[in-house]
Chain A
Amino acid sequence: MKKILILGAGTAGTIMANMLNKKINKREWSITIIDQHSNHYYQPGFLFIPFGIYTEKDVVKRKVKFLPKGVEYIQASVELINAEKNQVVLGNQEMVSYDILIIATGCDIAPEETEGLNEGWGKDLFDFYTIGGALALKDKLENWNGGKLVVHVSEMPIKCPVAPIEFVFLADWFFTEKKKNRQEVELVYVTPLDSAFTKPICSEVLGDLFPQKNISLVNKFNVSHVDPKSRKLVSFDNKEVDYDLLVTVPINMGSKLIGRSGLGDDLNFVPTDKHTLQSKDYENIFVIGDATDLPTSKAGSVAHFQGEILTENILNYTNRKPLTAHFDGHANCFIESGYNKAFLIDFNYDYEPVSGTFPLPGIGPFSLLKETKVNHLGKMAFKYIYWNMLLKGIPIPTVSAHMKKSGKNLDLLPD
Chain B
Amino acid sequence: MEKIIAGYTVDVTEEGYLTQMNQWNKEIAEAIAKELGIHELTEGHWKVIEFLRKDFAETEKVPTTRRIKNVGNIPTKDLYDLFPDGPVLKAAKIAGISKPVSCV
What is A's interface to B at a CB cutoff of 8 Å?
156-157, 161, 198, 220, 222, 224, 236-237, 265-267, 295-297
Contacts and interface: CB of A to CB of B under 8 A. Distances in A.
A198 B103 contact: yes
18 contacts: A156-B104, A157-B103, A157-B104, A161-B104, A198-B102, A198-B104, A222-B65, A222-B80, A224-B76, A224-B77, A237-B80, A237-B85, A266-B63, A266-B71, A267-B66, A295-B103, A296-B104, A297-B104
Given A220-B85, A266-B70, A267-B66, A236 B103 contact: no
B1 interface: no
Contacts of A296: 104
B92 to A, nearest CB: 16
Contacts of B73: none
Contacts of B101: 295
B44 interface: no
Interface of B: 63-67, 70-71, 76-77, 79-80, 84-86, 101-104
A236 B76 contact: yes
Nearest to A192: B103
Given A157-B104, A237-B84, A267-B66, 20 more contacts: A156-B104, A157-B103, A161-B104, A198-B102, A198-B103, A198-B104, A220-B85, A220-B86, A222-B80, A224-B77, A236-B76, A236-B79, A266-B63, A266-B64, A266-B66, A266-B70, A266-B71, A267-B64, A295-B101, A296-B104
Given A237-B85, A266-B66, A295 B104 contact: yes
Contacts of B76: 224, 236
Nearest to B71: A266
A220 B85 CA distance: 8
A156 B103 contact: yes
Nearest to B78: A236
A226 to B, nearest CB: 15
**Most chain B CB within a 10 A radius of its CB, from A236, A237, A267:** A236
Given A220-B85, A267-B66, A236 B104 contact: no
A266 B103 CA distance: 14
Nearest to B65: A222
Contacts of A267: 64, 66
A201 B86 CA distance: 22
Contact of B67 (A161, A224, A237, A266): A266
A28 to B, nearest CB: 37
Contacts of B77: 224, 236
B52 to A, nearest CB: 14
A347 B76 CA distance: 33
A233 to B, nearest CB: 15
**Most chain A CB within a 10 A radius of its CB, from B76, B80, B84:** B80
Nearest to A347: B104
A295 B101 CA distance: 9
Contacts of B102: 198
Contacts of B103: 156-157, 198, 295
Contacts of A220: 85-86
Contacts of A224: 76-77
Contact of A236 (B64, B66, B70, B80): B80
A161 B102 CA distance: 13
Nearest to A296: B104
A369 to B, nearest CB: 17
Contacts of A266: 63-64, 66-67, 70-71
**Most chain A CB within a 10 A radius of its CB, from B64, B65, B66, B104:** B104
B48 to A, nearest CB: 14
Contacts of B65: 222
Nearest to B68: A266
Contacts of A236: 76-77, 79-80
Contacts of A156: 103-104
**Most chain B CB within a 10 A radius of its CB, from A156, A198, A220, A266:** A266
Please list the 8 inter-chain residue pairs (A to B) with the smallest Cβ-Cβ separation, ordered nearest first: A236-B80, A156-B103, A266-B66, A266-B67, A157-B103, A237-B80, A295-B104, A198-B104
A236 B77 CA distance: 5
A266 B85 CA distance: 22
A236 B74 CA distance: 13
A224 B80 CA distance: 10
**Most chain A CB within a 10 A radius of its CB, from B67, B71, B102, B103:** B103
A201 to B, nearest CB: 15
Contacts of B67: 265-266
A237 B77 CA distance: 8
Contacts of B71: 266
**Most chain B CB within a 10 A radius of its CB, from A161, A220, A222, A267:** A222
A156 B64 CA distance: 11
